[in-house]
Amino acid sequence: MTKLSEILAITGKPGLYKLVSRGNNMLIVESLVDGKRTPTYARDKIVALSDVSMFTNADDVRLSEVLTSAGKKEGLQPVAMDPKKAANAELQAWFDEVLPDWDRDRVYPSDIRKLISWYNILVKAGITDFSLEEEPAEEEK
């Protein structure tokens, strides 16, 4: 089972990548879209999906919770609307159902587009368990 901590977003490269291996000053990643493996280096900005969160009016919500909510809304199927062609109002209406308390001042339509495209990539790659691995320190509190 692939964990969200192994799924990476790389600035300047489209799509999502799975961590395959680590080397000296580089990572080997595999595209979830086409399966091609490529090296990434220290100069690339790499973020694990487990480290991403969305702004709400209260506390920030982890991306895993947002993806889980989107999965419940969509029945673990890809989102039908095309995020690139959708109007901002349509994106916001969809996101209202997924995360009702989202911060309308700090979450932009481009963020919602990226969320939908990431969700679709994950579902098409067969990754539908968006839960984070449990951290023992959190359970003890």
> Which tens digits make up the pLDDT trace of 51-87?
999 999 999 999 999 999 999 999 999 999 999 999 9
Cα(17)–Cα(29) distance, rounded to whole angstroms?
A: 6
- Residue 133 has what pLDDT? 65
The confidence score (pLDDT) of residue 61 equals: 93
Domain ranges of the chain: 4-49, 52-124
4-49: in CATH 3.30.310.50: no
Residues of the chain with pLDDT under 50: 136-141
Are the C-beta atoms of residues 64 and 131 closer than 8 Å to each other? yes
CATH of 52-124, one of 3.30.565.10, 1.10.10.1650, 3.40.30.10, 3.40.50.720: 1.10.10.1650
**Residues 56, 106: Cα–Cα separation, whole Å:** 8
CB contact set of 77 (below 8 Å; sequence gap of 6+): 123
Would you report the helix, strand and coil content of the chain in percent, each value rounded to 5?
Answer: 35, 20, 45
Q: How far is Cα 39 from Cα 23, in angstroms, rounded to an integer? A: 9
- pLDDT value at position 138? 45
Enter the pTM of the model: 0.88
